[in-house]
Amino acid sequence: MRNLLANLYRMNKHYLVYLFLLIPLTLLTQSCRKDEGTGGTASITGKIMVRQYNTNFTFLLEEFYAPDEDVFIIFGDDPVYGDKMSTNYDGTYRFEYLQEGNYTVFAYSEDSAGYPTKHKIPALKHVKVSKNQDVKVGDIVILK
């Protein structure tokens, strides 16, 4: 039995060397793959614009950039948001340190078609980001 194992070892030692090299290389290449999310050098900047209507959404009362409004970002095709922040005093938001990829930025708006139930719906912007890029997103308009 000992001779059989020794013979198998000698025959397969080249295969063992390849196997021990292949496993770390596979793990290394998988760990270097960067998905959408934080850890990069890109950013997304924009503003939230509020259009405030009367109670049945028939008359526009005023428009203004929304301070302290929640803004969310989805990384790639993730089903849930990856980060959240509040807008500045002038309605500006900025998501920084992003990897190259596709993102969705959104804020919640009242649904004018859902009056009088007043459901919230997302106002979305889809964004493609390249390395070292600061993408300026147009205004995200929400209704109140």
Q: In sequence order, which residues have a C-beta less than 8 Å from that of residue 26 and are 6 or more positions away? A: none
- Report whether pLDDT(109) > 60: yes
pLDDT at 57: 86
pLDDT at 138: 93
- The model's pTM: 0.74
Most confident of 9-13, 25-29, 56-60, 69-73: 69-73
Query: Which residue in 111, 113, 93, 117 sits closest to 103, CA to CA?
Result: 93
pLDDT at 11: 58
- Report whether pLDDT(121) > 90: yes
Least confident interval from 8-12, 15-19, 65-69, 130-134: 15-19
- The CATH number for 38-143, chosen from 3.30.70.1450, 2.60.40.10, 1.10.3210.10, 2.40.30.10, is 2.60.40.10
- Report whether pLDDT(29) > 60: no
Of how many residues is the chain composed? 144
Q: Could you tell me if 91 and 82 are in contact, meaning their C-beta atoms sit under 8 angstroms apart?
A: no
Which residue type is seen at 44? I
- Report whether pLDDT(38) > 90: no
